[in-house]
Amino acid sequence: MLSLEGIAKAFGATQALDDVSFTLERGSIHGLLGENGAGKTTVMRILFGLERPDRGVIRIAGTAVRITSARQARALGIGMVHQHFALVPSLSVAENLVLALGAGLAGGRQAALQARIANLGAELGWPIDLRARVGDLAVGQQQRLEILKALLGGGQVLILDEPTAPLTPLEAADLFRVVKVLASRGTAVVFISHKLAEVEAVCDRLTILRRGRVVMSGPLAGMTRGRITELMIGAAVVAPVRGAARPPGAVLLDLEQVSVADRQRRERVHRVALQVRAGEIVGIAGVDGNGQTELVRAILGQAPASGTIAIEGVASGAAHGATRERLGVIPEDRQQDGLALALSLTENLLMKARNQAPFSSCGWRHRARWQAQAQALIADYDIRASGPEQPAVSLSGGNQQKVVIARELSPQPLVVVAVNPTRGLDLGATASVMHRLLAARARGAAVLLVHSDLDELMQVADRILVMSSGHLSDSTWPACTREHIGALMLGEQPAVAGTGTGVGAQRP
Amino acid sequence: MSARALRSIAVTLGAALLGIIGVLAGLWCAGYPPATVVPTWLAAAAGNELHLAGSLQQAGPLLCAGLATAVAFRANALNIGVEGQYLLGAITYVGIGVHVGHAPGVVMIPLLLLLAMASGAGWALIAFVLERTRSVPIVLSTILLNFIAVALVSYLIEGPLHDPVTSAPQTEQLAPGLRLPVLIAGTTLHVGVLVIAALAVVLWVAQSRTVFGYELAVVGANERVARLTGIRVERVRGLAMAISGALAGLGGALQQAGVTHYMSDGSVSYGYAGIAVALLGQLHPLGVAAAALYFGMLDSGSAGLERHLDIPHDVGDILKGVVTLVVLIAAVVQWRRRPWSGP
């Protein structure tokens, strides 16, 4: 019913899309796969009227249409749910609807609009409380609201951009259910994802983009994971291999009775005890917002905490600050916390080494040595950039993460703290991040990996603990099943602990 | 020089040109064809040694205020208080100077300049301390401190420092020994302008070659990553504010010592103009120097327009405003046009 024919789009010298053609059919769930920078998001922005194609036609039911604005896309029945929701947290659900769709509508029509969305929600099994404040809703509920909003234009086409990234496994399962219901009612759903398992679970058709070109478009049936991966990245990804467990070394990161309260004095972390030893990766699993962020902030000295935090044997106190600066930190939000986006790669890569010989002496920078070091790191960590003077902002997400990792891990820190280090990265970049963490472990670093992706955690972690409502569980991995861990993440206390069988079979 | 730097220079020059063309078009509509306006303007701005000296002298305090603003802005400390810090430096030099007129200038001039820098820095650090201890945004406190500085200077001029031989609100004249030597006889181009130009070069070297200059850039670009990588953000910002205030105070003192030799209630301060100069120069010391020279030439050029063609000299101010606006708009457009990179 909707087809793209020969779409091309260039940004400056970069050909983002080149002769992209595929068809979305009524009632099908169409997976759109590709690495970061392959052009997925650009395709969708064109479809939703946020970018104009340089060449090519979009046809709906055979008629060529020009989509020049999001408003027009909505009128054509195309709805899109972005990764970052367009909601105002301080307003109610009803007020957000008015803001998004009905500004200027008379009261009666607004009421009709609200009734429609409530009905639609009820039909899909998503009860919506119009008076609730959006900020009080869980992320999953906010996403439901966004999906309902996107469907109000008529629901011919629904574009979901990485919809499961913020969801718990249960919420994701519910999303898949609804997506299937929508497809059965005739909506063409576009499902953008990095996760092959999800694509296999819901999609019936598939388009794979690589470097702005369509390399495959057709039914999912008959495609193997290996084949899909190969098409996406042009070569098989080497999965991270953990290697044999090492005898536990000295405790390098030691938390005792650590509690953290937020600004409103609510306790976000409750008396956590945690030891990470040399040569092991300890994973902390959990749904976002259960205290992981606060725990890491406490370790980094960014939030006041009670209890003791000892790094490399130095407990909180006068000498602690200098020890803390030796930590290798891969922060959750690389753009906010990991990089100075406006500055060059050289300036980003040498932030930690800025005062060290041979890069500086007596407060003076040796600029040639800075440049040479940056070049060496760029080569070492396979950062794809035009040169060390390129500003960090112009790099893709995966390469930005490599810059952070190169800066943080190249001084060979004894303790590494990483938070969701693969979020938003494609398969190749994810594998490279995990390889780096495993390499740190292999040379004897203590690695604390806070991660909401359980599959990836199970690939690399020696132990996994679960954080839920500020409490940290005992080690669950490899003793427990995936289901057991999932239950802990949702705050349930599984009746029988540690009855794991067939754990290995769960590993992807 | 990187492609980035070249492009930002090209954009700034383009904006300056665009602004000039716009104002010329406006003047043409008002009956002054460019064929008469442009030569008069150029002659008055740089037509001969004397006029050029006038432009350079005018550029001096603008450059000092511009550098002061740029240093703070680079560390993301939005010091709008250069105006007040400049006035504090000026009144410090004159206020103490009129009382120590008989001391030898070789000793007193450097001493008074240092005191002026200290008072400017102190005034700026009030805003910094308020931000650290009471979370008052620097942008607000510095604006309010400007008002206080203006009132304080008025009070001193009309009260303790008032020249008893006149009823006009003004201080006594500085003793000749406390005035700066003039470089070209018959003009007001004084040694202080050279000092300021040298400072621009020093700042440029410091910014590009020292670790502190680098830390300034990192703090300005992203405080959170600066903190994470162990940069003492508060120290860097505090130093930036102190340097900024000291430069502003020096600018005020040099202007009194070199040009006016006394202070009156209507003393022109260059603090606010310094913000435009800094932004036009893209916060780069050499860019700021170019912008200050451009503004200085606009000032003396438009004074010439008023003398010869009876065009109000406000035209120069309009042009400054237009050019600064166009440059800021161009910067925003450039930022938005950057290749959109997917998540």
Distance from CA of A441 to the nearest CA of B (A): 22
Among B210, B340, B343, beta carbon nearest to A365: B210
Could you tell me which chain A residue has the CA closest to the CA of B214? A347
- Per-residue pLDDT at B287 exceeds 70: yes
Q: Would B30 be classed as within a structural domain?
A: no
Averaged over successive runs of 10 residues, the pLDDT of chain A (508 residues) comes to 89 79 92 81 87 90 87 88 84 84 66 83 85 83 88 87 79 90 92 83 90 88 82 67 74 91 82 92 85 90 87 76 84 88 93 90 92 94 87 84 93 93 81 91 93 84 89 79 75 52 35
Q: Would B334 be classed as within a structural domain?
A: no
CB spacing of A336 vs B228 below 8 angstroms: no
CB spacing of A351 vs B343 below 8 angstroms: no
Residue B137: which domain range? 62-296
Among B2, B218, B226, beta carbon nearest to A389: B2
What predicted TM-score, i.e. pTM, was given to this entire model?
0.76
Tokens of A257: 């009775």
Substitution target in B73, B228, B335, B337 with the highest count of A β-carbons within 10 Å is B228
- Whole-angstrom Cα Rg for chain A: 24
CB spacing of A351 vs B218 below 8 angstroms: yes
What DSSP designation does A244 have? P
For the purposes of burial, counting CB atoms within 10 Å of the CB of B158, is it exposed (0-12), middle (13-18) or buried (19 or more)? middle
- What is the structure's pLDDT at A40? 85
Average pLDDT score over residue span B149-158? 94
- Per-residue pLDDT at B117 exceeds 60: yes
Say how far apart CA B202 and CA B218 lie, in whole Å.
20
- Per-residue pLDDT at B204 exceeds 90: yes
Could you tell me which chain B residue has the CA closest to the CA of A45? B342
Q: Would B167 be classed as within a structural domain?
A: yes
CB spacing of B2 vs A352 below 8 angstroms: no
Q: Would B186 be classed as within a structural domain?
A: yes
Q: A with B: how many residue pairs have Cβ under 8 Å apart?
A: 86
Q: Would B50 be classed as within a structural domain?
A: no
- The dihedrals phi and psi of A505, each to the nearest 5 degrees, come to -65, -25
Distance from CA of B218 to the nearest CA of A (A): 7
Q: Would B219 be classed as within a structural domain?
A: yes
CB spacing of B210 vs A83 below 8 angstroms: no
Distance from CA of A149 to the nearest CA of B (A): 23
Could you tell me which chain B residue has the CA closest to the CA of A350? B229
CB spacing of A407 vs B229 below 8 angstroms: yes
- What is the structure's pLDDT at A155? 83
Task: Yes or no: say if A175 and A143 are a contact pair by the CB < 8 Å rule.
Answer: yes
- CA contacts within 13 A on the Cβ side of A429: 24
Strands of the A63-65 sheet, one edge to the other: A14-24, A2-11, A55-60, A63-65
What are B's interface residues with A at a Cβ cutoff of 8 A? 2, 4, 208-212, 214-215, 217-218, 221-222, 224-231, 338-343
CB spacing of A343 vs B221 below 8 angstroms: yes
Substitution target in B2, B74, B209, B214 with the highest count of A β-carbons within 10 Å is B214
CB spacing of B228 vs A363 below 8 angstroms: no
Q: What is the 3 state secondary structure string of chain B?
A: CCHHHHHHHHHHHHHHHHHHHHHHHHHHHCCCCHHHHHHHHHHHHHCCHHHHHHHHHHHHHHHHHHHHHHHHHHCCCCCCCHHHHHHHHHHHHHHHHCCCCCCCHHHHHHHHHHHHHHHHHHHHHHHHHHHHHHCCCHHHHHHHHHHHHHHHHHHHHHCCCECCCCCCCEECCCCHHHCCCECCCCCCCEHHHHHHHHHHHHHHHHHHHEHHHHHHHHHHHCHHHHHHCCCCHHHHHHHHHHHHHHHHHHHHHHHHHHHHCCCECCCCCCHHHHHHHHHHCCCCHHHHHHHHHHHHHHHHHHHHHHHHHCCCCHHHHHHHHHHHHHHHHHHHHHHHHCCCCCC
Q: Count how many domains chain B has.
A: 1
Q: Would B283 be classed as within a structural domain?
A: yes
Residues whose CB falls within 8 Å of the CB of residue B23, separated by 6 or more in sequence, listed in order = B315, B318, B319, B322
- What is the structure's pLDDT at A118? 85
Q: Would B19 be classed as within a structural domain?
A: no
Chain B contacts of A14, Cβ < 8 Å?
339
Say how far apart CA A143 and CA A163 lie, in whole Å.
8
Among A36, A329, A393, beta carbon nearest to B338: A393
Distance from CA of A376 to the nearest CA of B (A): 20
Domains of chain A: 1-77+155-237 (3.40.50.300), 87-153 (no CATH), 252-327+413-506 (3.40.50.300)
CB spacing of A347 vs B227 below 8 angstroms: no
What are A's interface residues with B at a Cβ cutoff of 8 A? 11-12, 14, 36-37, 40-42, 51, 83, 162, 300, 302, 325, 329, 331, 336-343, 347, 351-352, 354-355, 360, 363-365, 367, 389, 391, 393-397, 407, 424
> Among positive and negative, which fits the CA dihedral A385, A391, A394, A398?
positive
Distance from CA of B153 to the nearest CA of A (A): 39
For the purposes of burial, counting CB atoms within 10 Å of the CB of A434, is it exposed (0-12), middle (13-18) or buried (19 or more)? buried
* pLDDT tens profile B82-109: 999 999 999 999 999 999 878 888 889 9
- Per-residue pLDDT at B214 exceeds 80: yes
Average pLDDT score over residue span B154-158? 93
Task: Categorise residue A15: left if φ over 0, alpha if ψ from -120 to 50, beta otherwise.
Answer: beta
